Structure 1
Amino acid sequence: MSILEQKAFISSIHPFQNLTSDQIDDFVDNLDIAYYKANEIVQEEGSSPEFLFFILKGLIQEKQEDEVLSIYSKNEIFDSISLIENYSKNSFVTTEETICYILPRKIFIEVLHENQELENYFFQSISEKLNNNISHEKNKDMANIMVAKVKDAKIHKAVIIDTEKTIYEAANIIKKEKVPTVLLKDTYEEMYIVTDSDFRQKVILNRMNFDDKVIKIASKGLIFVYEDDFLFNAQLLMAKHGIKRVVVKNEKEEIIGILDQISLSSFFATNTFAVSNQIVKAETVEELKEASLSFIKIIKSLNAKGVKIEFISKLINQLNKKLLDKLYKILAPVELYEKSCLVVMGSEGRGEQILKTDQDNALILADDCTISDEKLNEFTHIFTETLVDFGFPRCQGNIMVSNPYWCRKKSDFKDLIFKWVNEPSGDNFMNIAIFYDAVCVSGDKNLITSLKEYLFKVSSNSQTFYAHFAKVITSFDVPLGFFDGFVFNSKDNKHKNEIDIKKGGIFIIVQGIRSLSLENKIFNANTAKRIRKLLEKGVLEEELAKELTMAFNFLTNLRLKSNLDKLDKKEEIDNYINPNNLNTMEKDLLKDSFKIINKLKKKLEFHFKLNYV
């Protein structure tokens, strides 16, 4: 590598992008290169380390005796902790031929103490490190938006009419097709364009005759782009020619639509406002479906732009609520809508469902609702099937409005809640957890509020109830070994060497915080909001509350990132990640997150005396 390439290489590794130009010069001036054969010990356990290693090629295992704790690969560093402590707790061994840049410990330590940002990173608290990593990862991914294609944006349908049509006929076609633009084609295959603004500025302001031919207000000289062109180039093309729309073709030279400035700007602004408006203005199920298909694009765009996971969750949750509210208003009979409450539960109720997973919903009817069973069953079936068509799969546990168990009158739900609390069982505790996370998305909110109040009342009659409710967390092990090594899935060959971060991390936080919140009669459903309420009530210490929030966000972000990759590869989304696919910093932060979860488990075991139930 040249000196410039060495500088670029060092700066590409977090957090060394924070080095000053003099400091990076010091690094490069003191770098040496080292070659290692396969199965060679690079740094021994118990030794005083001499170098910081930057891997150019190969694979390094960090080992405690025979247990592999971590794996380091190209563009990663090891082992800063050993250098700071001047002691190597573990050994580092190559698994294949490996080439590294090596930086003397003295230079690393000197620069570390000179550079405040570097020092803060290597000595900061776990929660700060988690937060800083999320920001860094988002900024790194921001470049992805620059490679978005024209087909990734909203392309309006291309409506082509002949030049013999009148202005009146063309206006009616625009209204009927719900498009802002029409294209004209004459007998010589010449193309023209007419926009909605042409009707306002040329027809109305000039008081033109509506029976005049529409060709009189059309414009020539169309600019074309291809659906696989970069969206950024389409924007440049519009700016260059001073136009607000381009015509889109596919590889077969067929016109497939029109990209306008509003759609393009909306994409770069994540399209959130446009989709929200689309939901509000929707009058049919098909229009709603079109809006719902934009959600994945919004998530990818927000993620690439550096938006924190909690804000993505909140935004998508709001769009989901709007979507379900509008769908319920479109489909529900009047006598049902005015006397009912549609709720979402589980992760969607908590506002933590980002990518579409299965349905978790219920319908609470007022006791004086008069809808017939036949009409109700017809509606709930249609509602569930419509959501399936929108991309929300059926719930495997059948927790949907189409299941009569989750569609009943308020008084019947009260009887259910009483049974759940007073007849302890795994299913009943699960139903309480699901129902406690419920939030109203449409209809009378008071119906769910009064039922939660009833849940608080009947559950407080038994002091042992909360302990039994929380005990489920003891069934889930945090996948972290005694020597801070990951404990991999060994039973399922499909997920061998992978970790289920929902079972081993996210669920423990959710259920632990849910148990404390139920005991303290907190109405909030969202985990982060529940943590804040528990902090306000003095149930959680400030540092633990901060650590839990950051660990929860880090794990959720890791799962989102993994599942977006799987979506791109047309793979099934799940809760599994392979730690070997993470960089050094992510592995360390994953371990830190698991340590925080273990801390929560110990607190819950003591608080609820779980060893005695």
Structure 2
Amino acid sequence: MSLLEQKAFLSSIHPFESLSATQLDTFAENMDIVYFKENEIIQKQGKNPESLFFILKGLVQEKQEEEVLSIYSKNEIFDSISLIENYSKNTFITTEETICYSLPRSIFIKTLHENIDLETYFFQSISEKLNNNIHHEKNKEMANIMIAKVKDATIHKAVIIDENKSIYEAATIIKKEKVPTILLKDNNNEMFIITDSDFRQKVILNRMDFDDKVIKIATKGLIYVNEDDFLFNAQLIMAKHGLKRVVVKNDKDTIVGILDQISLSSFFATNTFSVSNKIQKAETVEELKEASLSFIKIIRSLNAKGVKIEFIARLVNQLNKRLLDKLYKLLAPEELYTKSCLIVMGSEGRGEQILKTDQDNALIIEDDCTISNEDLQKFTHDFTETLVDFGFPRCEGNIMVSNPYWCRKESDFKNLIYQWVNEPSGDNFMNIAIFYDAVCVSGSIDLVIKLKEYLFKVAGNSQTFNAHFAKVISSFNVPLGFFDGFIFNSKDEKKKNEIDIKKGGIFIIVQGIRSLSLEHKLLNTSTAKRIAKLTEINVLDPELAKELTMAFNFLTNLKLKSNLDKLDKKIAIDNYINPDNLNTMEKDLLKDSFKIVSKLKKKLEFHFKLNYV
């Protein structure tokens, strides 16, 4: 590689993009290319390391005796920690022919103390490292917005009429086709455009005859863009010409649609506003379904732009709530709607279900509601089946309004809650956990609040109940070994090199925080808000709370990215990730996150005295 290529290579590896021009020159001038054969030891345990290695090609294993702790591949570095401590805790050995850049330890250490960003990265706390990674990913992925194509945005279909159409006929077509704009082609094949504002400003204000030809209000001189043009360029063209819309063509010079300013702005605002409007304006189930199909696109867009996982969850959760509220209003008999509360539970209730995994919903009905069983069963069946059609799979545990167990009168729910608390079992504790996460998405919120307050009353201040409720976390092990190596224990041969990130990390945080929140009778539902409230009332130490929030967000984001990748490959989404698919920084952060989970688990075991339960 030339010096220029070396510098570009270094700048592409986090956190070395923070090197100054002089430091970058120093690195490039002092790097050597080194070659290693398969199964060759690069750095031995117990030795003083001499170089920082940047892998250009090949694979390197970090091993503690015979246990493989990590694998490093192209564009990754190793081992900065050994260099800082001047002692190699582990052995680094190639698994195939490997080519690296080697940088002398003296240059690395000297630059480390000269560059505050570099020093901060390698010496920062776990929570700071997790947080800085989020900011780094956001900055890195923001570049995606610059390469988005016109076809990635919402393009209204092109409806083309002839010049003989009347104003009335054209207005009728706009309404029927549900488009804000139509195109007109005259006898000379010249194209014109007519917008909904033309009807307001030119027809109504000028009191034109509705039977006049619509070409009288049409505008010519259209501006075109190609569907493969950069969306950012389309925005510049609109700004340059003072336009609110441009006509989109494909490579065959065929008109494929119209891109307007609202669609363009909605894309850069992640489409959330436009989809929310679609939900609000939907008058039929089919229109609502069309809006729901945009959710995955929104999630991809938000994630690609580096938006923090907690904001993605919040936005998607709000859209889900609006969708369910609208569907309930469309399908529910009036008496039921005015005397009930539709709730979502579990991860959706906590606002932490981003992709459509399954349905977790229930219906609380006021005691004086007189809807017949026949009408109620028809509604609950239709509601569940419609959600399935929208892409919300059935809950494997049958926790849905179509199951009479989760659709009952308020007094019946009280009896159920009393039973859950006073007849301890795995299923009953699970039901308490699911219900405790419930939020109202439609109807009377007072119904679910009163039932939660009843749960607090029935559970009382029983240490035995609280301990048994928290006990389930003891059944889940953090997949991190004594020497910081990942532990793989899947019985599925296809997942033998993968980790269940939910069981090993996310669930322990969720259930642990949920147990502390229930003990202190908090009405908050999201894990983040529960952590904040527990910190406020001095149940959690502020530093641990900060670490838990960062670890939870990192693990959730890792799971989302993995599942979006699986959707692209048409693979069923799950909770498994393969650490080999992560870069060095992500592996380190995953280990750091698991250490935080272990810290919480030990705190809970002591707090609830789980060893005695």
> Which bracket does the TM-score occupy, shorter chain normalised?
over 0.9
The aligned residue for residue 484 of structure 1 is 484
The aligned residue for residue 268 of structure 2 is 268
Larger mean CA deviation between 515-524 and 19-28 belongs to 19-28
Q: Distance in 1 between matches of 2:464 and 2:185?
A: 77
Q: Distance in 1 between matches of 2:45 and 2:569?
A: 40
CA deviation after TM superposition for structure 1 residue 376, in Å: 0.9
CA deviation after TM superposition for structure 1 residue 162, in Å: 3.0
Letter in 1 for 2:165: K
The aligned residue for residue 194 of structure 1 is 194
Q: Is the contact made by 2:362 and 2:407 (CA closer than 8 Å) also made in structure 1? A: yes
Larger mean CA deviation between 389-398 and 345-354 belongs to 389-398
CA deviation after TM superposition for structure 1 residue 186, in Å: 4.5
How do residues 430-469 of structure 1 correspond to structure 2 at under 5 angstroms?
A: 430-460=430-460, 462-469=462-469
Q: Distance in 1 between matches of 2:291 and 2:82?
A: 52
User: Are 1:474 and 2:481 matched, yes or no?
Assistant: no
Letter in 2 for 1:81: I
Q: Is the contact made by 2:55 and 2:75 (CA closer than 8 Å) also made in structure 1? A: yes
Q: Is the contact made by 2:340 and 2:444 (CA closer than 8 Å) also made in structure 1? A: yes
- Aligned-partner SS, 2:93: strand
Q: Distance in 2 between matches of 1:523 and 1:271?
A: 31
Q: Is the contact made by 2:365 and 2:409 (CA closer than 8 Å) also made in structure 1? A: yes
CA deviation after TM superposition for structure 1 residue 83, in Å: 0.5
Cα deviation code 1:220-248 (max 9, x no counterpart)? 34444454444334334444555332334
The aligned residue for residue 517 of structure 2 is 517
Q: Is the contact made by 1:500 and 1:577 (CA closer than 8 Å) also made in structure 2? A: yes
Letter in 2 for 1:570: K
- Aligned-partner SS, 1:29: helix
- Aligned-partner SS, 1:164: coil
The aligned residue for residue 388 of structure 1 is 388
Q: Number of aligned residue pairs: give it.
A: 613
Q: Report sequence identity in percent.
A: 82
Q: Distance in 2 between matches of 1:389 and 1:317?
A: 19
Q: Distance in 1 between matches of 2:14 and 2:125?
A: 17
Structure 1: gaps of 5 or more residues:
none
CA deviation after TM superposition for structure 1 residue 470, in Å: 0.9
The aligned residue for residue 37 of structure 1 is 37
User: Are 1:169 and 2:158 matched, yes or no?
Assistant: no
- Aligned-partner SS, 2:219: coil
- Aligned-partner SS, 1:157: coil
Q: Is the contact made by 1:143 and 1:304 (CA closer than 8 Å) also made in structure 2? A: no
How do residues 285-434 of structure 1 correspond to structure 2 at under 5 angstroms?
A: 285-434=285-434
Q: Is the contact made by 1:566 and 1:573 (CA closer than 8 Å) also made in structure 2? A: yes
The aligned residue for residue 551 of structure 1 is 551
Letter in 2 for 1:447: L
- Aligned-partner SS, 2:441: strand
Q: Distance in 2 between matches of 1:495 and 1:189?
A: 60
Q: Distance in 2 between matches of 1:233 and 1:497?
A: 44
Cα deviation code 1:57-87 (max 9, x no counterpart)? 1111000011110011111110000011110
Q: Is the contact made by 1:57 and 1:74 (CA closer than 8 Å) also made in structure 2? A: yes
Cα deviation code 1:309-335 (max 9, x no counterpart)? 111111111111111112212221110
How do residues 117-266 of structure 1 correspond to structure 2 at under 5 angstroms?
A: 117-186=117-186, 190-239=190-239, 242-249=242-249, 255-266=255-266
CA deviation after TM superposition for structure 1 residue 100, in Å: 0.9
- Aligned-partner SS, 1:142: helix
Q: Distance in 2 between matches of 1:417 and 1:204?
A: 62
CA deviation after TM superposition for structure 1 residue 463, in Å: 2.4
RMSD: 1.7
Q: Distance in 1 between matches of 2:490 and 2:443?
A: 47
Change over 3 Å in CA distance of 1:461–1:84 after alignment to 2: closer
Change over 3 Å in CA distance of 1:285–1:250 after alignment to 2: farther
Q: Distance in 1 between matches of 2:180 and 2:504?
A: 51
Letter in 1 for 2:69: L
CA deviation after TM superposition for structure 1 residue 252, in Å: 6.6
Q: Distance in 1 between matches of 2:559 and 2:72?
A: 21
Q: Is the contact made by 1:152 and 1:297 (CA closer than 8 Å) also made in structure 2? A: no
User: Are 1:494 and 2:489 matched, yes or no?
Assistant: no
CA deviation after TM superposition for structure 1 residue 187, in Å: 5.5
Q: Is the contact made by 2:463 and 2:608 (CA closer than 8 Å) also made in structure 1? A: no
Larger mean CA deviation between 571-580 and 157-166 belongs to 157-166
Change over 3 Å in CA distance of 1:61–1:262 after alignment to 2: same
Letter in 1 for 2:426: G
The aligned residue for residue 570 of structure 1 is 570
Letter in 1 for 2:36: Y
Larger mean CA deviation between 440-449 and 539-548 belongs to 539-548
Structure 2: gaps of 5 or more residues:
none
CA deviation after TM superposition for structure 1 residue 128, in Å: 0.5
User: Are 1:104 and 2:104 matched, yes or no?
Assistant: yes
Q: Is the contact made by 1:139 and 1:304 (CA closer than 8 Å) also made in structure 2? A: no
The aligned residue for residue 529 of structure 1 is 529
Letter in 2 for 1:33: I
Q: Distance in 1 between matches of 2:540 and 2:343?
A: 29
CA deviation after TM superposition for structure 1 residue 386, in Å: 1.5
The aligned residue for residue 91 of structure 1 is 91
Q: Distance in 1 between matches of 2:600 and 2:461?
A: 26
Q: Distance in 2 between matches of 1:415 and 1:369?
A: 18
Larger mean CA deviation between 398-407 and 283-292 belongs to 283-292
Letter in 2 for 1:366: E
- Aligned-partner SS, 1:508: helix
Cα deviation code 1:72-113 (max 9, x no counterpart)? 111111000001111000000011111111111111111111
The aligned residue for residue 14 of structure 2 is 14
Letter in 1 for 2:305: K
CA deviation after TM superposition for structure 1 residue 208, in Å: 2.3
Letter in 2 for 1:398: N
- Aligned-partner SS, 1:280: helix
Letter in 1 for 2:386: T
Q: Is the contact made by 2:19 and 2:115 (CA closer than 8 Å) also made in structure 1? A: yes
Cα deviation code 1:148-178 (max 9, x no counterpart)? 3333211223323332221122112212332
Q: Is the contact made by 1:417 and 1:455 (CA closer than 8 Å) also made in structure 2? A: yes
Cα deviation code 1:390-434 (max 9, x no counterpart)? 211111111111111100001000111111111111111111110
CA deviation after TM superposition for structure 1 residue 498, in Å: 0.8
Larger mean CA deviation between 317-326 and 159-168 belongs to 159-168
Q: Is the contact made by 2:461 and 2:519 (CA closer than 8 Å) also made in structure 1? A: no
CA deviation after TM superposition for structure 1 residue 571, in Å: 2.3
Larger mean CA deviation between 432-441 and 473-482 belongs to 473-482
Letter in 2 for 1:138: K
Q: Is the contact made by 2:138 and 2:305 (CA closer than 8 Å) also made in structure 1? A: yes
CA deviation after TM superposition for structure 1 residue 253, in Å: 6.0
Cα deviation code 1:24-65 (max 9, x no counterpart)? 122122111211111100000000011111111111100001
Cα deviation code 1:291-347 (max 9, x no counterpart)? 222222222222222321111111111111111112212221110111100100011
The aligned residue for residue 605 of structure 1 is 605
Letter in 2 for 1:141: E
CA deviation after TM superposition for structure 1 residue 581, in Å: 0.8
Q: Distance in 2 between matches of 1:30 and 1:332?
A: 72
- Aligned-partner SS, 1:356: coil
